[in-house]
Amino acid sequence: MILLRKAYRGHYIEIRPVSPQAADRALPGRALIWIDGEPLDGDFACPRATLLPALLKVATDRIDAGSLHQA
């Protein structure tokens, strides 16, 4: 399941739940960020209401910094 898919500066960002069961749980939300088909290191947690905007910012910041796969 993909929660969000977005193109950004020639890259493709996908935000996916840690597991299918995690997509149905209440707060907090946890998800994985994938850029160009590769996962970023680790998973990310924050309140579900801010999960997608927060993770999208992490992904775009990594792309802008040129550090896609570094923690």
Distance CA 71, CA 50 (A): 21
Contact by Cβ (8 Å): 51, 27:
no
Does 54 map to a domain? yes
Does 11 map to a domain? yes
Does 22 map to a domain? yes
- The tally of domains found in the chain comes to 1
Does 71 map to a domain? no
Does 61 map to a domain? yes
Residue 23 structural domain: 4-65
Does 70 map to a domain? no
- Per residue in 22-69, pLDDT (tens digit) is 555 544 577 889 999 998 877 777 777 788 888 899 899 989 988 665
Full-model pTM: 0.74
Does 17 map to a domain? yes
Does 31 map to a domain? yes
